Amino acid sequence: MPAADPSPPLRVLFVNRMAGLERGGGETFDLEISRHLAQAGAQVGFLCGAPLLRPAPLPVAGARTLRTPWLRRFPWDKVKGGWRVRQLEFEIFEWRAARWIARHAAEFDVVQVCELPNLVHWLKQRGVETPVVMRLTAPNYYDPRGGVDQADALIASGTSIQKLRELGLDVVDVPNAVDADLFRPQPSDFRARHGIGRDEFVALYVARFQAFKNHALLLDAFAKLAQDHPVVRLVLAGSGPLRERCEQQAADLGLAEKVLFLGEVPYAELPAVYAAADVKAISSDYESFCFAALEAMATGLPVLTTDCAWVPRLVADGAGLVVPVGDVAAFAAGLKKLADNPALRQRMGATGRQQVLERHTWPASAEKLRELYRRIVSADILNKTGKAPL
């Protein structure tokens, strides 16, 4: 019988503004890895954002929330200079979060932030001594105050690792993963609830409605498929500033009855959505990783993806098809190939699930992050006291 760990449990504060507002890869990582850290014995807290005048649409259980401006439908990635509005929103949250953490820093051994470089800068400026670990979701971060260099450790995954190291940053690879017990082939009543026949071919895209996700390409390609495949459906899950534009595009293409816009789907309900689909479509221009690809592979779905950086690496060993970025005809041909070949879909789906089980599980990633925390905390204690922790 192994000896019990005599050290006290790590106390970790996760700071993720968007976790209660919208769900993307950064939010999924924090929520899932924090859950597995807690299962391994850590004490985990959350600090999230909430709208000024209404409850958070996706509340995180037990989280402390800070109310700050949130222009949910503002198309910041389409309006000239719109990114400045989004950046201001984040800076207001970061400023409030720095004040809150400074008052409560002694309650935590580590502060884990999802990007938020201004927050790191302001914490260090206030003299907060609790070590800060920053997760960089992509190499194109905006850091006007140099917060990235002030973090005590940086973590990332996917294609971001190499690009960040090329920038001279010391980054620890903590791989993204998926809960393969939650996302698995399973019975689903999703089709029955939405009036979709058992024999209809269903393509699914789980993604925020943002420009780089390129829903427009997927809709154009699906329209080509529907011309000679009348019994098909496209299911779009997610929210974002370009949803209304995509709804109008679907109507203009004559697809209003064939495209189902689900909006933001609670995480616990997503497995049933995946289990009802035949293929996972990814039409993005770029993906540094893609949790939705892993969720689909774990569910046994083949993946049809553009050559968008990391996802093609995930499916390279037979779990899907890859077509050029921005090529409507090629994407439509990929949809047609999968729609016409159930046996191919089954083989690819089985291959993808096996790859997930072998390479992308949360317990392994959580243990790697926990060891990084322990090294940082030990170094912090040594610096403060001159003595290594027992």
State pTM to two decimals: 0.77
Q: What is the CATH number of the domain that holds 50?
A: 3.40.50.2000
The pLDDT, as a whole number, for residue 387 is 53
Q: Are residues 107 and 129 in the same domain?
A: yes
- Mean pLDDT rounded to a whole number for the chain: 92
- What is the span of the domain harbouring residue 203? 190-359
- The mean pLDDT of 261-277, rounded to a whole number, is 95
**CA 45/CA 106 separation, integer angstroms:** 13
- The mean pLDDT of 331-345, rounded to a whole number, is 98
The pLDDT, as a whole number, for residue 69 is 93
The pLDDT, as a whole number, for residue 241 is 87
Q: Are residues 310 and 161 in the same domain?
A: no
- Residue 6: inside a domain, yes or no? no
**pLDDT band with cut points at 50, 70 and 90 for residue 346:** very high
The pLDDT, as a whole number, for residue 68 is 95
In whole angstroms, how far apart are CA 137 and each of 248, 265, 303?
31, 22, 22
Q: 102, 2, 94, 4: which is closest to 49 by C-alpha?
A: 94
The residue that leads in pLDDT, 111 or 73, is: 111
pLDDT digits (tens, 9 = 90+) for 109-153: 999 999 999 999 999 999 999 999 999 988 888 999 999 999 999
- Residue 153: inside a domain, yes or no? yes
The residue that leads in pLDDT, 6 or 2, is: 6
In whole angstroms, how far apart are CA 187 and each of 83, 268, 278?
42, 15, 13
Q: Are residues 224 and 197 in the same domain?
A: yes
Q: How many CB atoms lie within 10 A of CB 379?
A: 15
Percentage of residues in the chain having pLDDT higher than 90: 78
Q: Are residues 38 and 87 in the same domain?
A: yes
**158 conformational bin, left if phi > 0, alpha if psi -120 to 50, beta if neither:** left
The pLDDT, as a whole number, for residue 1 is 36
The pLDDT, as a whole number, for residue 309 is 87
First to last CA, the chain: 22
Q: Are residues 372 and 345 in the same domain?
A: no
Q: Are 275 and 187 in contact (CB under 8 A)?
A: yes
Mind giving me the DSSP string for 187-244?
---HHHHTT--TTSEEEEEE--S-GGG-HHHHHHHHHHHHHH--SEEEEEE---TTHH
Q: Are residues 264 and 284 in the same domain?
A: yes
**pLDDT band with cut points at 50, 70 and 90 for residue 42:** very high
Residue 125: half-sphere exposure toward Cβ, Cα within 13 Å: 12
**pLDDT band with cut points at 50, 70 and 90 for residue 80:** confident
3, pLDDT greater than 90:
no
**pLDDT band with cut points at 50, 70 and 90 for residue 5:** low
381, pLDDT greater than 70:
no
388, pLDDT greater than 70:
no
DSSP for residue 183 = S
- The mean pLDDT of 299-303, rounded to a whole number, is 98
Q: Are residues 138 and 240 in the same domain?
A: no
- The mean pLDDT of 230-239, rounded to a whole number, is 96
The pLDDT, as a whole number, for residue 258 is 97
